Amino acid sequence: MTKKEKVLYIQDSLEKLYPKTPIPLNHDSIFTLLVAVVLSAQCTDARVNTITPKLFKRANTAKLMSEMSIEEIAEIIRPCGLTPMKSKGLKGLSEIICDDHQGKVPNSFEALEALPSVGHKTASVVMSQGFGHPAFPVDTHIHRLMKRWGLTSGKNVKQTEKDAKRLFPIENWNKLHLQIIFYGRSHSPARGWKPEIDFITSIVNPIAFRK
C-alpha cells in the first residue's frame, strides 16, 4: 500500500470504530482541562478522573487554585505521581494565568508553553480540545502506532507529529488523534500485541509483526 492508501484506510477504519470521540479527561472548562492534562503526565486518565473531582471542588478556577498552597495541592493530587513537580506547576501556572492573562487560559501555543509544567503536548491538547485549534498532540499511543503503521521513523515525538500533520488532513487532526489513542489502547497495545486484534497494522504494515 502507498502511504496515501494507508492514510485513507486508517481514517476510514477509525471513523467506523470511533464515530464519537469524547475527551477521556473529565473537565467542565478550559482551565480544568488544562489541569487534568498536566496531571495525566505518566498517569492514566482513569486515575486522574478519580482525583480531579476533589481538586475541582476545592479550586476549579485559576484564581481559586492560585490561593491554594503547594502543600494543599500536593495532598490531593498525590495518587497521580510526580507530586512535587505537578503541585508546584499547578500553583505556578494558576498564578501566571491570574497575573498575566486576566484569569483566563491563554489561547496560543507560545503563551501556554510558557506556563510551568506545560509542554508542547499539553499545549496541543488544550489548543485542540479546548479552543478547537487544529493540533495533533502525540502521546505514547500515537507515537507507537505511527511507527507500526510505517508512517514515521519513530525516532522522536517531534518527528512523529510532523509526519502526522503532513500525512493527515488538517480538518481531521483534532478528532483523529483521539481515535488513534482509543485504537492503541484497545487494539494495539505496547504489550500483548497480536495481529488478530490489531487489524489495521495487519493490513497497512504486516511486516511490523515480524520485527
Q: Which residues are catalytic?
A: 121, 139
Helix (H) or strand (E) holding 56: helix 45-58
CA–CA gap between residue 132 and residue 130 (Å, rounded): 6
CA–CA gap between residue 41 and residue 86 (Å, rounded): 9
- In the block, which residue shows the cell 482509543? 182
Count CA atoms closer than 13 A to 73's CA, side-chain side: 26
10 Å Cβ neighbour count for 158? Answer: 10
Tell me the chain's radius of gyration from C-alpha atoms: 18
Tell me how far CA of residue 153 lies from CA of 63, 135, 146, 156, 183, in angstroms.
Answer: 43, 20, 8, 8, 20
For 98, list phi and psi in degrees, rounded to 5.
Answer: -70, -45
